[in-house]
Amino acid sequence: MSALRIDCVMSPDFSKSHFALFGQPVGFDIDAAALDQTYRDIQREVHPDRFANAPDAEKRIAAQWAMQVNEAYRTLKSPLARGRYLLKLSGIDTEEESNTAMPVAFLIQQMDWREAVVAARTAHDDRALEQLAKDKRSEERTLFELLAAQLSNVATMRDARETVRKLRFLEKLGEEIDLASEAMES
């Protein structure tokens, strides 16, 4: 049994941050290739199937450990989830569920995009949907750059809450675009 496997099963540290678990520095920018490789390495060691013949207590711990590893990986892999997690580590609530206040220009843009999705779907206009998806990705890139800058500076960290909420709006818009595309294909 490898040292990692013994350590994980016998005394896993469920209090480790996601960054510490994957050996990543705490910050918005991560080494995605190293994250992926470390995830595969850890999964090889803690996957519950490797503990099929282990005592029940070890099986439970391995399952819990695997769940934590999967959750941490999903969180760090997604820029939006990673930003949200960094704010949580700093004790800042994004208020996504309770605070829907947004700048008027942003809300108008969201309404325009959603109306354009409906119009493109109704007209079966693949090009319009592709353009909307492209525009959304461009806006996301801009907001992710802003989020990275905000999270790297204690003075602007609280401003990152609004950026995360904006990105959540864009995530939902992306889902609507995908649904419209799927509906047009069927």
For the stretch 22-56, pLDDT in tens is 999 999 999 999 999 999 998 888 888 888 888 88
pLDDT at 33: 96
Q: Which amino acid is at 38?
A: T
pLDDT at 72: 95
| Lowest mean pLDDT, pick from 40-44, 56-60, 67-71 | 56-60
For the stretch 90-130, pLDDT in tens is 999 998 888 888 999 999 999 999 999 999 999 999 999 99
Place of tokens 């409906």: 118
- Cβ atoms of 83 and 109 closer than 8 Å: no
pLDDT at 49: 84
CATH topology classification for 104-185: Monooxygenase (1.20.1280)
Determine the Cα–Cα distance for residues 108 and 70; give it in Å rounded to an integer: 37
Chain centroid to Cα 51, Å, comes to 29
Dmax (CA) for the chain in angstroms is: 60
pLDDT at 62: 83
Determine the Cα–Cα distance for residues 24 and 18; give it in Å rounded to an integer: 8
| DSSP structure string for 58-71 | HHHHHHHHHHHHHH
Matching fold, domains 2-77 and 104-185: no
Domain boundary assignment for the chain: 2-77, 104-185
CATH topology classification for 2-77: Helix Hairpins (1.10.287)
How many CA atoms lie less than 13 Å away from 87 in the CB half-sphere? Answer: 24
- For residue 71, pLDDT over 60 is answered with yes
Q: How confident is the model at residue 185 (pLDDT cuts 50, 70, 90)?
A: confident
Determine the Cα–Cα distance for residues 98 and 118; give it in Å rounded to an integer: 27
- For residue 7, pLDDT over 60 is answered with no
Place of tokens 């996957």: 47
pLDDT at 5: 41
pLDDT at 48: 81
pLDDT at 149: 97
- For residue 2, pLDDT over 50 is answered with no
With a pLDDT cut of 70, the percent of the chain lying above it is 92
Chain centroid to Cα 111, Å, comes to 24
pLDDT at 126: 94
| Lowest mean pLDDT, pick from 42-51, 72-81, 131-140 | 42-51
pLDDT at 45: 84
